[in-house]
Amino acid sequence: MLRINFINPTYLKQVLALLVGSIFIKLAHANQTEYEAPSLDEIVVSASGYDQKILDTAASINLINKSQIQNGQARDNLSEPLNRVPGIFALNRQNYAQDLQISSRGFGANSTFGTRGIKIFVDNIPATVADGQGQTSHIDLPSTERIEVMRGPYSVLYGNSSGGVISVFTQDGGPNNEIEPYFELGSYSQRKEGVKASGIYHNTNYLLDVGDFHTNGYRVHSAADRFNANSKLKFKMGSDTSISFIANNVNLTAQDPLGLTSSQLAANPQQAGINAISQNTNKSVLQSQTGATIDKRLDSANNLVFTPYYGQRHVTQFLAATNNGVIDLKRNFYGVDSKWIHKSQMLEMPFTLVGGVDINENDDHRQTYQNNNGTQGALGQNYRMSAKNFDQYVHLDWRLLERLSLNMGARNSATTLSSISNSPALNNTSSGSHVYQALTNMVSLQYYLTELSNVYVSYGSSFDTPTLNQVTYNSSFDGSNFGLSAATTKQIEFGFKSKVSKSAQVNLAFFNANTTNDIVVGASSFGRTAFTNAPKTNRQGMELGSQFKLPYHLEVNLAYTWLSATVKESYSYTYQAAGIPKTTNVVLSGNRIPGVPNQGLFSEVLWVKPNKSMEAAIEARVNGPMAVNDINSPSMASGYAVMNIRGVLRQEVAGGLSFSQFFRINNVLDRSYVGSVIVNQASSQFYESAPGRNWMIGGNVSYQFK
């Protein structure tokens, strides 16, 4: 049974104060503008693989539009737009040497490396490789048109590691040829400059964006530099074939301040963690990839879609450990998704059938070296690893009756992980391989109460294989861990969607997911981590999203999440660190899964002048406490409530020239809080502190060529 513990009254008072205070914004007196938040009539493709209104999907899916991504935003991290989606916790670690800590309904919360448990796509090209591990550093927000975020049973249609799906789409160029330089400046010597060019040339739709980012970082030893480039070409070959080419590049170098112990956090939250400076902990990433989407219309009822891609990624990372403290990873990744879309009628009612084959592979060459006080030393491990999947899937969307629709789908997945040791005398890691196979499925019924309101129930089964990183060590650290089982999940969701009026809409979902063989930490020793399977875990909760248009050109957006993510059967794990003897701990039934708050609230009051020349907004973000490790000891990282404000000015000048400027003040009330945690850190360096009050200003110039 779902039991909802409402948010702490102290947080509620703070949020209400923030929202009430917003009415003192100076308002212009004019006719009301049309409601501009994403509507249930918006078209998405992530749910079923083809164009569909949000209202017609029996899934929890949100669309974040271009204005929400770019207006008055820093556009530096994916956590910025994702914070407004219920069910998603995207914790900004203030550490560019580590990927964002993203969880969807608690899936992916306890990841120790990269993003796992969530499928990420950028322009239909997977940012999650075949073993289920994803990364987000190449996502270019200044050129992003929209982001679709899906949770729940529908996600199983995407195969391995799909506790949720995040799909990012680059904007098209046009209709005019335009060049747009932009910049930003902010606290901690943060700066960003770039230029975006877009338009149509000889029937080819094009976009190119390049940007350079730097920050000294909020904490000591947290400076970062990142260069991003993103390009898109879109054109037609005849009347029935369209092709989109995508290519992007990221070059990142970042210091790693590590986590803090509770005593360090209390003494100075801006300091670097133990050994961060002496071992010069840092990370560099160089990645390039390209891909295409080829859409071929066969006839009025049939389409074929092909999405091939190829990429290379090189990561060098200096850890705090001495042995194997430098990781050098070279990765090639590639694949293709081939999809057939058929639209017709069955028993005089419309139906859509989608079938396809999805093939992906990543080949890794991983070497480790000694970290001698920040200098690369002798070779340690040297081995090659690979992951590949071969999946077949089918999905049926059938309108059974005028008010009733049926969705059902299945996916047959085979994921192969393998490792070959090149120097067994040195790396102490065995070779091996394992094939993980599963047939996953989903089914849903959706009933339309009215033309603009419906209720639905969905069920799905999914699986989550280990990543290559998670099979590196067994619990004795003397061999690989290919005996690790894949996690399997059965989940059910009840939902309600309603476009109440032109001024209001609401989405409500209740969910329950039971997982067997969840992949968790089994042993931790001197910077190395081995994984095991927890017998049973559970994630259940509620999501509420709503948007309202109010008088005086005000819009209100709310996203609330209540989440209970807990262990259902106890298990044990061991850890050992410098100065700490080997210890065995029991993870008790009822313990919270670490790394995810138990509840969260995003609220926004936005005012936009009718001619769009000015806008202002107040944002409030509230997160509940979260556990830092599996045994839930020491005490949890406390919850927090912060307020941000932003404003945008725009000026139109004759001759196709326009200007815009923005400002942001984050954490206006200067709260001190922990923004994220390093789950199960063996030396108790769990805490990653968030900045106090900080500011940002920026602007852009746009010139349209005639």
Phi then psi for residue 70, to 5 deg, are -115, -30
The b-or-e profile of 584-620 (16+ CB within 10 A means b, else e) is eeebeeebbbbbbbbbbbbbbbbbbbeeeeebbbbbb
CA separation for the pair 279, 285 (Å, rounded): 19
Q: Which residue has the higher pLDDT, 47 or 543?
A: 543
Please report the pLDDT score of residue 453 as a whole number: 95
Assign 135 a pLDDT band (cuts: 50, 70, 90). Answer: confident
Please report the pLDDT score of residue 663 as a whole number: 97
Assign 485 a pLDDT band (cuts: 50, 70, 90). Answer: very high
Phi then psi for residue 470, to 5 deg, are -80, -15
Please report the pLDDT score of residue 221 as a whole number: 97
CATH of residue 277's domain is 2.40.170.20
Tabulate helix, strand, coil % of the chain (nearest 5): 5, 60, 35
- Per DSSP, the three-state class of 567 is strand
- Per DSSP, the three-state class of 323 is coil
Please report the pLDDT score of residue 35 as a whole number: 36
CA separation for the pair 245, 333 (Å, rounded): 17
Please report the pLDDT score of residue 82 as a whole number: 94
pLDDT of 140 higher than 70: yes
Residue 525 lies in a domain: yes
pLDDT of 405 higher than 50: yes
Q: Are the C-beta atoms of 315 and 283 separated by less than 8 Å?
A: yes
Residue 445 lies in a domain: no
Residue 483's contacts (CB-CB under 8 Å, 6 or more residues apart) are 434, 474
Q: Which residue has the higher pLDDT, 4 or 272?
A: 272
According to DSSP, the residues that pair with 89 across neighbouring strands are: 103
- pLDDT, one tens digit per residue, over 618-676 is 999 999 999 999 999 887 899 999 999 999 999 998 888 999 999 999 999 999 999 99
- pLDDT, one tens digit per residue, over 6-32 is 334 444 344 344 433 333 333 333 333
Number of separate domains in the chain: 1
Please report the pLDDT score of residue 20 as a whole number: 37
CA separation for the pair 289, 313 (Å, rounded): 8
**What's the token pair of residue 101?**
């800590």
Lowest mean pLDDT among 418-432, 460-474, 564-578, 685-699: 418-432
Residue 600 lies in a domain: yes
Q: Are the C-beta atoms of 75 and 230 separated by less than 8 Å?
A: no
Phi then psi for residue 416, to 5 deg, are -110, 125
Query: Average pLDDT, whole number, for the chain?
Result: 89
Please report the pLDDT score of residue 578 as a whole number: 65
Q: What is the mean pLDDT of residues 237-266?
A: 95
Residue 450 lies in a domain: no
Assign 198 a pLDDT band (cuts: 50, 70, 90). Answer: very high
Assign 461 a pLDDT band (cuts: 50, 70, 90). Answer: very high
Q: What is the mean pLDDT of residues 48-73?
A: 90
Kindly list the distances between the CA atom of residue 387 and the CA atoms of 201, 436, 633, in Å, as whole numbers in the listed order: 40, 11, 35
pLDDT of 513 higher than 90: yes
Query: How deeply is 568 buried, as exposed, middle or buried, from its count of CB atoms within 10 A (0-12, 13-18, 19+)?
Result: middle
Which among 358, 276, 359 has a CA at the least distance from the CA of 319?
276
Q: Which residue has the tokens 């980012």?
A: 213
pLDDT of 5 higher than 60: no
Task: Quote the pTM value.
Answer: 0.92
Assign 211 a pLDDT band (cuts: 50, 70, 90). Answer: very high
**What's the token pair of residue 412?**
């047959």
Residue 1's contacts (CB-CB under 8 Å, 6 or more residues apart) are none
**What's the token pair of residue 85?**
């989606």
Residue 2 lies in a domain: no
Residue 5's contacts (CB-CB under 8 Å, 6 or more residues apart) are 562, 598, 599
Please report the pLDDT score of residue 539 as a whole number: 96
Residue 448 lies in a domain: no
Q: What is the mean pLDDT of residues 167-189?
A: 94
What does DSSP assign to residue 158? G
Tell me the H-state helices in 57-123. 66-70, 79-82
**What's the token pair of residue 375?**
């200098």
Q: Are the C-beta atoms of 409 and 441 separated by less than 8 Å?
A: yes
Please report the pLDDT score of residue 423 as a whole number: 67
According to DSSP, the residues that pair with 585 across neighbouring strands are: 573
Q: CA 512, 518, 521 angle in degrees (round to 5)?
A: 135
Residue 472 lies in a domain: yes
Assign 36 a pLDDT band (cuts: 50, 70, 90). Answer: low
CA separation for the pair 700, 698 (Å, rounded): 7
Please give the residue range of the domain that contains residue 162.
9-440+456-705
Residue 447 lies in a domain: no
Percent of the chain with pLDDT over 90: 73
Lowest mean pLDDT among 269-273, 274-278, 370-374, 580-584: 580-584
Q: In what order do the strands lie in the sheet with 119-122?
A: 60-64, 144-151, 164-170, 119-122, 125-126
Phi then psi for residue 268, to 5 deg, are -165, 100
In this structure, the strands spanning 599-608 and 614-623 are antiparallel
Phi then psi for residue 284, to 5 deg, are -130, 140
Kindly list the distances between the CA atom of residue 82 and the CA atoms of 89, 101, 177, 403, 554, in Å, as whole numbers in the listed order: 8, 11, 30, 33, 22
Q: What is the mean pLDDT of residues 152-163?
A: 86
Assign 424 a pLDDT band (cuts: 50, 70, 90). Answer: low
pLDDT of 376 higher than 80: yes
CA separation for the pair 356, 306 (Å, rounded): 10
Q: In sequence order, what DSSP letters do the residues of 332-361 get, joined into one string? A: EEEEEEEEEEEEEEETTEEEEEEEEEEEEE
In this structure, the strands spanning 504-525 and 571-577 are parallel
Residue 546's contacts (CB-CB under 8 Å, 6 or more residues apart) are 504, 505, 506, 507, 556, 557, 558
Assign 157 a pLDDT band (cuts: 50, 70, 90). Answer: confident
Q: Which residue has the higher pLDDT, 160 or 278?
A: 278
- 3-class DSSP string for 220-273: CCCCEEEEEEEEEEEEECCCCEEEEEEEEEEEEEEECCCCECHHHHHHCCCCCC
Q: Which residue has the tokens 């009756």?
A: 401
In this structure, the strands spanning 164-170 and 119-122 are parallel
Please report the pLDDT score of residue 28 as a whole number: 32
pLDDT of 146 higher than 80: yes
Q: Are the C-beta atoms of 407 and 58 separated by less than 8 Å?
A: yes
CA separation for the pair 706, 703 (Å, rounded): 10
Helix (H) or strand (E) holding 10: helix 9-21
Q: Are the C-beta atoms of 74 and 83 separated by less than 8 Å?
A: no
Q: Which residue has the higher pLDDT, 174 or 19?
A: 174
- Per DSSP, the three-state class of 664 is strand
Phi then psi for residue 77, to 5 deg, are -135, 145
Distance of CA 214 to the CA centre of its chain: 22
**What's the token pair of residue 347?**
């028993």
Percent of the chain with pLDDT over 70: 92
